[in-house]
Amino acid sequence: MRKGLLPVVRQTIALLLFLPALLLSSCADECESTTTYTVFEPVYMLRADLQQAVKVAPAQTLREPGKIYAKGHYLFINEVDKGVHIVDNSNPSAPRFLSFITIPGNLDMAVKGNILYADSYIDLVALDISNPLDVRLVNRVENVFPTYFGMLVNDTASVFISEFVETQITQPPGTDCNSAGPGWLNGWMTMDGRSFASASVVQPSNSTGKGGSMARFTISGDHLYTVSNSDLQVLDISNTADPKKGEKIRLGWGIETIFPYADKLFIGSTTGMHIYDNSNPTKPVHLSTYAHVNSCDPVVVEGNLAWVTLRSGNACAGFTNQLEVIDISNPRSPQLLKTYPMQNPHGLGIDHSTLFLCEGKYGLKIFDAKDHLKVSDNLISHFKGHDAFDVIPLGSNLLLIGQDGLYQYDYSNVKDIRLLSKLPVSR
């Protein structure tokens, strides 16, 4: 399933399941034209198969890249719903694919020591990556992420929906009008030419790395924190190979990202930024929520400032494209300092007041943010030639992931930022 479509399906499917009575048509005449529908057919997976599916494979090229993560001289690139590429980045000018870990249903990851933590649909898997050519599954924690496609997967269910595959269905002339337009079509619910399955389809070194601003996984000390659409899950990873589920904290709906800074966790949602005190890492405590209009919302922090991008789009149901600067010197009362209009901001990163901002199809913008009230006057560079989804600044090198591949830039001299390499997408 396409990366942009997945959040829409997850958020919409639950609502559509309750609308059949409103969508039935009473027309009994025969239609005279051909009608084509887009249907999302469910693909089922057995839990038993899921538990046997994680394995290392030869290196592959990028096809649909998602999240990125950096640890030492290795890069980890998510292949949406498929697994994780391991890349040797000891020479950023010539990165090399080493292997591919097949992890069905994977979207996020984090690393501590030699253990890679990744989601696999409804489970969390822990993998020993000490030898990237021979990655081994060392543990699986079941039902860490029980909500999938907006539906709750029962802890004991032997079968669950792993994805929806887009399929075209054409109705020839002479077909009963009951099957045309919004309503029911061959067991599928249709709406404005698009279809979703009905409810009846549901069948039984200890160092850490660094993720981007779009991450739903982060590590702080001996704990892994993951966010779902509605919850913060704490996992004890003091024994890295044996993660243990801890506190689960209800956050509300529309949760998107998590960013650690000092003893705080900054959680981005479609309606605001939540700040949690993490001085007791086993049980983060809510300090405040900075509310904004409904929009996608990744956040990064440096010093007493939080930088938030708000983005319009189908998954966010918003109409705002802007960068916000928020004073968090008092984390119990965050205050908006400045708003800057942007084109379509996605992920962002900051390193010693150099701000890197992804503008989706409009490319990458780099600002001098020393004066947070004059950021728009201090654009350093604008790279327009590629898509920009998220970034990770690493001191002097910048990782950038987009729909067309992974880019690396040398920003050791911000007046002369240079492209080092590109790992392109193969279609």
- Written as one string, the DSSP assignment of 118-177 is EEETTEEEEEE-SSTTS-EEEEEETTSS-EETTEEPPTT-SEEEEEEEEEEEEEPTT-BG
Q: What is the structure's pLDDT at 112?
A: 97
Q: What is the CATH number of domain 38-174+187-424?
A: 2.130.10.10
Dihedral of CA atoms 354, 356, 357, 359 in degrees, nearest 10, equals: 140
Q: What is the structure's pLDDT at 45?
A: 66
Q: What is the structure's pLDDT at 224?
A: 98
Q: Express each pLDDT in 362-395 by its tens digit.
A: 999 999 999 999 999 999 999 998 999 999 999 9
Res. 254 pLDDT band, cuts 50 70 90: confident
Run of H or E including 409: strand 405-410
Mean pLDDT of 395-411: 97
Residues 344 and 311: beta-carbon distance below 8 Å: yes
Q: Express each pLDDT in 281-326 by its tens digit.
A: 999 999 999 987 667 779 999 999 999 999 876 555 567 899 999 9
Residues 34 and 173: beta-carbon distance below 8 Å: yes
Q: What is the structure's pLDDT at 143?
A: 87
* Model confidence at 179: pLDDT above 60: no
Q: How far apart are CA 317 and CA 96, in angstroms?
A: 39
| More confidently predicted of 130 and 148 | 130
Q: Range with the lowest mean pLDDT among 35-39, 47-51, 194-198?
A: 194-198
DSSP state of 256: E
DSSP state of 178: G
Partners of residue 226 on adjacent β-strands: 217, 233
Q: Which residues contact 53 (CB under 8 A, 6 or more apart)?
A: 102, 103, 104, 120
Mean pLDDT of 9-31: 43
* pTM for the full predicted model: 0.80
Q: What is the structure's pLDDT at 312?
A: 78
Q: Which residues contact 31 (CB under 8 A, 6 or more apart)?
A: 171, 173, 174, 175, 176, 177, 180
Calculate the CA 28 to chain-centre distance: 45
Q: Is the dihedral of CA 95, 72, 58, 126 positive or negative?
A: negative
Q: Range with the lowest mean pLDDT among 114-118, 173-177, 214-218, 383-387?
A: 173-177
Share of residues in the chain with pLDDT > 70 (%): 72
Res. 30 pLDDT band, cuts 50 70 90: low
* Model confidence at 405: pLDDT above 90: yes
Whose CA is closest to 220, among 211, 229, 228?
A: 211
Q: What is the structure's pLDDT at 19?
A: 42
3-state secondary structure of 199: helix
Q: Which residues contact 333 (CB under 8 A, 6 or more apart)?
A: 288
Other CB atoms within 10 Å distance of the CB of residue 351: 19
What are the φ/ψ torsions at residue 133 (nearest 5 degrees)? -90, -5
Residues 308 and 296: beta-carbon distance below 8 Å: no
The residues spanned by each domain of the chain are 38-174+187-424
Dihedral of CA atoms 272, 326, 219, 125 in degrees, nearest 10, equals: 30
3-state secondary structure of 15: helix
Whose CA is closest to 209, among 103, 102, 309, 86?
A: 86
Res. 13 pLDDT band, cuts 50 70 90: very low
* Model confidence at 186: pLDDT above 50: no
| More confidently predicted of 67 and 202 | 67
Whose CA is closest to 257, among 272, 246, 243?
A: 272
Question: How far are the Cα atoms of 95, 224, 312 from residue 98, in angstroms, in the given order?
Answer: 9, 26, 37
Q: Range with the lowest mean pLDDT among 2-11, 194-203, 260-269, 300-309?
A: 194-203
Dihedral of CA atoms 130, 132, 134, 140 in degrees, nearest 10, equals: 70
Q: What is the structure's pLDDT at 316?
A: 57
